[in-house]
Structure 1
């Protein structure tokens, strides 16, 4: 089945810079709701999307969504909102590439792992360009060129900006539950803690979360990782709401078969985001005078594995 946009819906123009699984999923929903969407990604994906539309597959949908696709950063021109979905390692490069083509007042919304991408983008684009961070809660994967699969959730928490309230309404109407929060930094840190707890261990062992927590001593190591992250966050003035330890335990229970993104990157011989996960905690801890030996050990081990595979 192929869908065409609902032209009766309110329209914003969106561009997705770094159209991997997250960007493709949200882009598809926005296009289905009648918004103009341009995906910017790799050649193979762009060719498939141009020829057949973007295949969106979930528990309730399997259809091809027609939208624009390009390999060029200049395709952000004219967008009201740019969803920045590149890896954290590519944040400055992507910001530099889109800067000459951004419309005045266009919002750049960062949908990335890590806690400082919005600050890094803001430093590249300057104070006149609106930039806001988003916390992404979704399970997706690319099943092939131009084919995105959705496995669970799909909601956003976004920071305040001149257009965030309107944007939240538009996103919700497109099937993307969205809230505006004054504590996005705390939510980003809470997600960072989960990533620090599992990503490196999953990468080193090439095993999913459920297997990790069943191994002798693993729960104690995970608790040490979380405690170090909490200490750094507290020293940095970050407020994380809720029971962080319970949230970490819940991930292994709800996603026992999940391999971390860092594990997937290492398996494919690609650079990972480890420097923006455990590496960020190590660097921020050092700046604040706090030792983070467990995070540092896992950071160095993943670096060594990357050096072997890349």
Structure 2
């Protein structure tokens, strides 16, 4: 494990987009004494300032003192910025961050989808590190995040990786640095394409979905469409292994509802255009078809319109 030298200062972190995922990692860093500021929505920031950030996990339930702000300017002076906004807000996040980043600041994209780092880099005019995030967390209310499982990160290589990895390890966040991040992002995308939209459409958890007649075969078709599109984009995926992953998640996360489902229930915009919709768009770009992904995307759009999201 990489460690920081005793005399080496801890890197300063900023979390831009402190929702459930950003708040979890921000809380873990703050709890370990790593300097961090969380930038989020006013009600959440107000609650964190007044009472600290309550983090509930299987091992502890604590209120953690954190620095919190609503202004992107709060990232000034950070060595590392963790971008955790929804995929639809990527370009706006880049525009807000751009004036406040130092020349050596490492920008990491901890977002769903496969192209956010690339989109963010275009806005910022600088490299952005793609990160694969494996965590289940939810906001229970302003100033309160509940951790449901995992928390490990896979980072693409970048110059400051060892120092960042050491700080995250101090915070109890397992990390690896890998050249295979594009494949890992696509693998995660496929699982999200399988469950997120369908969980949102039915307002049901993964285990219930898997038990319904026709659903396992439908999910296998989603996987095959994704694998074909990934191959056209130069990413080789194993369809049989992905089928097994989908079935495993249906059982191991049987009571879990997707983030897309939670967004719909709250009347928030979903990320479906960057999940199933990304597969559809890339399929069309290559002259392919992705009819099941397209149907799922369309049905989520209809629900968004019906619920005013």
| TM tier relative to shorter chain | over 0.9
Classify the secondary structure of the residue corresponding to 2:209: helix
Check whether the contact 1:187–1:240 (CA below 8 A) recurs between aligned residues.
no
Q: 1:210 and 2:207 equivalent?
A: yes
- In 1, the alpha carbon distance for the partners of 2:87 and 2:252 equals 25
For residues 138-184 of structure 1, the C-alpha deviation after alignment (integer angstroms, 9 at most, x for no partner) is 11111121111111111000111111122112211210000001010
Query: What's the offset of the Cα at 1:209?
Result: 0.6
Which residue is 1:229 aligned to? 226
- In 2, the alpha carbon distance for the partners of 1:147 and 1:70 equals 16
Query: What's the offset of the Cα at 1:276?
Result: 0.1
Query: What's the offset of the Cα at 1:9?
Result: 8.7
The CA RMSD measured in Å over matched residues stands at 1.5
- In 2, the alpha carbon distance for the partners of 1:53 and 1:45 equals 10
Check whether the contact 1:95–1:121 (CA below 8 A) recurs between aligned residues.
yes
Which residue is 1:107 aligned to? 106
Scaled by the length of structure 1, what TM-score is found? 0.94
Q: 1:137 and 2:134 equivalent?
A: yes
Which residue is 1:18 aligned to? 17
Check whether the contact 1:54–1:64 (CA below 8 A) recurs between aligned residues.
yes
Classify the secondary structure of the residue corresponding to 1:50: helix
User: Equivalences for 1:1-310 in 2 at 5 Å?
Assistant: 10-127=9-126, 130-240=127-237, 243-310=241-308
For residues 87-138 of structure 1, the C-alpha deviation after alignment (integer angstroms, 9 at most, x for no partner) is 00100001100100111110110111000000000000113xx410100011
Scaled by the length of structure 2, what TM-score is found? 0.95
- In 1, the alpha carbon distance for the partners of 2:223 and 2:9 equals 43
Classify the secondary structure of the residue corresponding to 2:287: coil
Check whether the contact 2:45–2:68 (CA below 8 A) recurs between aligned residues.
yes
Classify the secondary structure of the residue corresponding to 1:243: helix
For residues 234-277 of structure 1, the C-alpha deviation after alignment (integer angstroms, 9 at most, x for no partner) is 12111347811111111111111111111111111111000000
- In 2, the alpha carbon distance for the partners of 1:10 and 1:34 equals 12
Check whether the contact 2:34–2:167 (CA below 8 A) recurs between aligned residues.
no
Which residue is 2:3 aligned to? none
For residues 44-87 of structure 1, the C-alpha deviation after alignment (integer angstroms, 9 at most, x for no partner) is 11111111111111111111111210011111101000000000
- What residue ranges of structure 1 are gaps of 5+ in the alignment? 1-6
- In 2, the alpha carbon distance for the partners of 1:139 and 1:297 equals 26
Classify the secondary structure of the residue corresponding to 1:204: helix
Which residue is 1:4 aligned to? none
Classify the secondary structure of the residue corresponding to 1:143: strand
Classify the secondary structure of the residue corresponding to 1:156: strand
Check whether the contact 1:8–1:34 (CA below 8 A) recurs between aligned residues.
no
Query: What's the offset of the Cα at 1:10?
Result: 4.7
